[in-house]
Structure 1
Amino acid sequence: MKKDSLTGKHIVFIAGEDEYMSEITLPQVAKEISDGHGARVTVLTASPEPKESANLPGLEKLASVDLIVLYLRFRELPEEQFRPLLAYVQSGKPILGFRTSTHSFRYPEGHPLEEWNSRFGIEVLGAPWIRHYGHSSSTDVSICRGAEHHPIVEGLPSSFHVRSWLYHVLPYPPEGAQLLLNGHTVDPELKEQTINAPRIQPVAWTRRNAWGGNVFMTTLGHPEEFTMPEFRRLINNAIHWLLKEDEGR
């Protein structure tokens, strides 16, 4: 892709989780996108540290940006921070989501925003949190049949191995999503909830969300994956595809 292929675009990377080191990996991706493709980038992180679930300053900047990249997990943001994020989503602009963003929020029972604990994953990204196959397991990834020529998987090998333990997402994402990558769990921890669960699950897809915004969602995102050329290519392709699709609307 051309060095200036994203010139004039503003992308905001939002890191708000304390399990997968997104406060380190997302700035690396942002630098690559800025240095390599000319995009203007902004990185927002939980403050004062990743485990702080109730403060993610800078979300008021979203009104004028072209794309947001989310890596969130169990946040309890105050309304004045949540509302600009929701306004961006409801404007129909594009979104890229990683792994735990399926369960971005965990508001307490009775909170005015409690419904978004499940609605965000389902309606925005295409899947809620269900379960995983155990931290000691890993995943074999392959391109879905029929997706071989999609621009997001261009340049990827037909299969590759990742450290991420597989997330159970079926029966999601909903009808109309374009499945891009499947994951096959390797050495799963066979517990009551997983022993009879399907060993193959979607791990990357695109969709048009409830407000018309184009979405790329992947349940991958272990820190080791961010060092893999295959995964970096996937992210790069997805960012370009989302912005190109948005231009064509």
Structure 2
Amino acid sequence: MKKIFLSIFTLLLSVPHIQSAEDHIVYQGKTGPGKGKHIVFLSGDEEYRSEEGLPMMAKILSQRHGFKCTVLFSLNEQGEIDPNNQKSLSHPQALDSADAIIMLLRFRTWPDEVYKHFDDACNRGIPVIGLRTSTHAFRGKLGGFGKRVLGEKWVSHWGGHKREACRGAIEPGAEKDPILNGVSDVFADSDVYEAYPPEDAKILMRGLVLENMSPDSKPSTRQKKNRQLNKVTGVNDPAMAVAWTRKHKWPSGKTSHIFTSTMGAATDLKSAGLRRMIVNATYAGLGMKVPKEANVDYVDPYKPLFYGFNSFRRGIKPADHALGKVLPLGNKKR
């Protein structure tokens, strides 16, 4: 009888661990400068496949640089990854021990008890890296985060959506910024966002709107009205900012190092230059020495889906992103 009781007790103790392991993924850090630091990735956008790109980046930061990395997802009732579920963030308790946040969110409407973990983490003054649609990460009462914290909100597609790709151009005067160590040949097949970072931001890179979706395409000569200048200009005269840093002071009085990039679609992250800039921004935000040329080689094969609404892989669970696995194709649309 005693053995049966002990077995049941042991099983009950193990259940929360099993559940938490099923709704998120943790990559324990190998040996490296990041050992002892915990980075929490927040994926949750309907279009740009953050549920594919962020686990890949987490694998790199854990296996190549030593950081413990936890990736949280939007899930459906079956425990499958569903970026359309704007109310979901799996295992938000991971944020309680986060040393940094890397996020790609879009119009989330988390319950108060979920958002509190995020808000508390931010108010500790930890660095925040916001990618692509994180400029409009939340809606409703949580809206305004992008403009207030990251330095911009959703404005418009400055480049032609799915027609004109982006080539990164380092901002003159920013060449020696450590975040740009080893960064070159940045290409993003997502278009350039219209963005006007505040005066306190340091622009690191601008995005040249290209004539088409090819990496070797020429810069576009198309014209468009620039809202900040209130006049029609060439789309690359000036080119829009696509990466910048700034500081943000929270209600707690603590200040965070902020890195924002309006690039970051899963297909954008095939660019080694962009991956390196994000890795470098992680080091810089944590006050660590930035590598001269950070290793950003894939850990596992990476073949992300092209961006688009309702085009995510169905039936995928967080465990499908485990180390050593190739992401399944998933089920067809339901």
Please classify the TM superposition score into its range, dividing by the shorter chain length.
0.7 to 0.9
Cα distance in 2 for residues equivalent to 1:140 and 1:41: 29
Structure 1 contact 89–124 (Cα < 8 Å) conserved: no
Match of 1:165 in 2: 191
- Superposition map of 1:90-109 within 5 A: 90-107=123-140
Number of residue-to-residue matches in the alignment: 234
Q: C-alpha offsets along residues 3-61 of structure 1, whole Å, 9 cap, x if unaligned?
A: 51100000001101111111111111101111111111111000121110011122232
Cα distance in 2 for residues equivalent to 1:193 and 1:182: 15
> SS of the counterpart of 1:206?
strand
One-letter amino acid of the structure 2 residue matched with residue 227 of structure 1: K
Change (3 A) 1:140 1:227: closer
Cα distance in 2 for residues equivalent to 1:228 and 1:26: 14
Cα distance in 1 for residues equivalent to 2:148 and 2:123: 11
1:196 to 225, 232, 241: 232
Change (3 A) 1:128 1:38: same
- For structure 1, list consecutive stretches of 5 or more residues without a partner in the other structure: 108-112
Q: Does 1:182 align with 2:206?
A: yes
Match of 1:130 in 2: 155
Match of 1:242 in 2: 285
One-letter amino acid of the structure 2 residue matched with residue 68 of structure 1: I
Taking only aligned residues, the RMSD between alpha carbons, in angstroms, comes to 2.2
Q: Does 1:23 align with 2:51?
A: yes
- Superposition map of 1:23-172 within 5 A: 23-48=51-76, 49-107=82-140, 113=141, 116-118=142-144, 120-133=145-158, 134-135=160-161, 136-157=163-184, 160-170=186-196
Cα distance in 1 for residues equivalent to 2:94 and 2:224: 44
Residue 90 of structure 1, CA deviation: 2.2
One-letter amino acid of the structure 2 residue matched with residue 132 of structure 1: H
Cα distance in 2 for residues equivalent to 1:198 and 1:238: 30
Match of 1:110 in 2: none
Residue 63 of structure 1, CA deviation: 2.2
Residue 62 of structure 1, CA deviation: 1.3
Match of 1:231 in 2: 274
One-letter amino acid of the structure 2 residue matched with residue 97 of structure 1: G
- For structure 2, list consecutive stretches of 5 or more residues without a partner in the other structure: 1-29, 77-81, 212-219, 290-334
Larger radius of gyration: 2
Cα distance in 2 for residues equivalent to 1:63 and 1:198: 46
Residue 66 of structure 1, CA deviation: 0.3
Q: C-alpha offsets along residues 45-85 of structure 1, whole Å, 9 cap, x if unaligned?
A: 00121110011122232122100110000111111111211
> SS of the counterpart of 1:93?
coil
The TM-score, its normalising length taken from structure 2, stands at 0.65
Identity of matched residues, %: 36
The TM-score, its normalising length taken from structure 1, stands at 0.87
Cα distance in 2 for residues equivalent to 1:219 and 1:197: 21
